[in-house]
Amino acid sequence: MMNSGKLAGKTLFITGASRGIGKAIALKAAKDGANVVIAAKTADPHPKLPGTIFTAAKEVEEAGGKALPCVVDVRDEGQIQSAVDNAVKKFGGIDILVNNASAVSLSPTLKTDMKRYDLMNNINTRGTFLVSKTCLPHLKKSSNGHILNLSPPLNMDPFWFKDHVAYTIAKYGMSMCAIGMAEEFKSDGVAVNALWPKTSNKDLFPDSFLDANNYKSIFKKHSQMKGASQKRMMSTQAGDGGIEGIFTNLKGKLNADIVGATQAIFQFNLTADGKEETYHIDLRNGEGSAGKGKPADKPDATLTMNADNFQKLFAGKLKPTSAFMTGKLKISGNMQKAMKLEKLLSSLKSKA
């Protein structure tokens, strides 16, 4: 999309802007010549995740904007107030607030500890409310103040709640802030909206969702092969052994490097003809292992799905994002670890 220049001279306050979607928005605005406040926790380099508020600020400057990096934990009222005050002092005001900071854990109710529940609600809902509340006096002074929350539409279909009630509550809280504040501050000339982007690149995920190790996201769009080519891929990957053939093929591709980078054990509960069978991939010990049966150690993540869909997933016929969002794939345990399985999917395709 071409830049229009409409943001030239405008000041954006973006939470979680050191990487991911937040940084992408910051860089897009910078190309218009905007002032960007990089409000995020990452002051020091993360051992696995690239980017800090300072590297993001440098990129903003290089893209044509002006930047102010601020250490901000959206749970900390003092840090938020300080960042807002510094932004107003440096740029003269705030025109646009982007509430992007978010915590994600797609865990079912019985496996969601309260520490994780509180983290998601304190960052997503409370953080959005608090940052908005702190910025609003300045947004009201802007000629065209805006708040943009990165949150989903309020779909009350139970499907969007089951299996991850805590997360949905936290994200819907952000959306409710948008609805309520839009009406509350309409007469003040402040527009409040929500945006729920379709993400297909791991680099655009929120900080607290992935501890990415140069892995492609499980939500990356998979290229699909048609006709005979697709059949050959399935045959090559699964062999004549069906599901067991997939794991046998996979076992031959494991090595110490993959184990070292992943450090996770996965269990697969696959159902066929009403019967459930269990398989595993151990990427925590030795050279790695894969096969039928439960893993020797407790799995970090358990994936449950129909055996046919599992084969389609490994053949590239079924996109992981579609499988998960339509209920064909259920994931329990450590979601961050589960995301790393994309590396294995890519490996199977590239070596087939």
Is domain 227-351 annotated with CATH 3.30.1050.10?
Answer: yes
> What is the structure's pLDDT at 211?
32
When comparing pLDDT for 309 and 91, which is higher?
A: 91
Architecture of domain 11-204: 3-Layer(aba) Sandwich (3.40)
Domain coordinates of the chain in residue numbers?
A: 11-204, 227-351
Q: Per-residue b/e over 73-85, b at no fewer than 16 CB within 10 Å? A: bbbeeebbeebbe
The sign of the torsion formed by the CA atoms of 176, 91, 208, 75 equals negative
% of the chain surpassing 90 pLDDT: 53
> How confident is the model over 38-86, as pLDDT tens digits?
999 999 988 777 889 999 999 999 999 999 999 999 999 999 999 999 9
Where does the pLDDT of residue 160 fall: very low under 50, low under 70, confident under 90, or very high at 90 and above? confident
Q: Is 167 a catalytic residue?
A: yes
Structure tokens at 223: 């290229």
The pLDDT assigned to 31 comes to: 96
Q: Is the pTM of this model over 0.75?
A: no
Q: Rounded to 5, what percent of the chain is helix, strand, coil?
A: 45, 20, 35
pLDDT of residue 316: 74
DSSP state for residue 252 in the 8-state scheme: T
Direct distance between the N- and C-terminal alpha carbons of the chain, in angstroms, rounded to an integer = 36
Which listed residue (117, 167, 172, 279) is catalytic? 167
**According to the model, what pLDDT value does residue 273 have?**
85
When mean pLDDT is compared over 34-38, 221-225, 228-232, the highest value belongs to: 34-38
> What mean pLDDT is reported for the chain?
83
What distance in Å separates the CA atoms of residue 170 and residue 163, rounded to the nearest whole number?
14
Q: How confident is the model at residue 321 (pLDDT cuts 50, 70, 90)?
A: low
- Supply the pLDDT for residue 215: 31
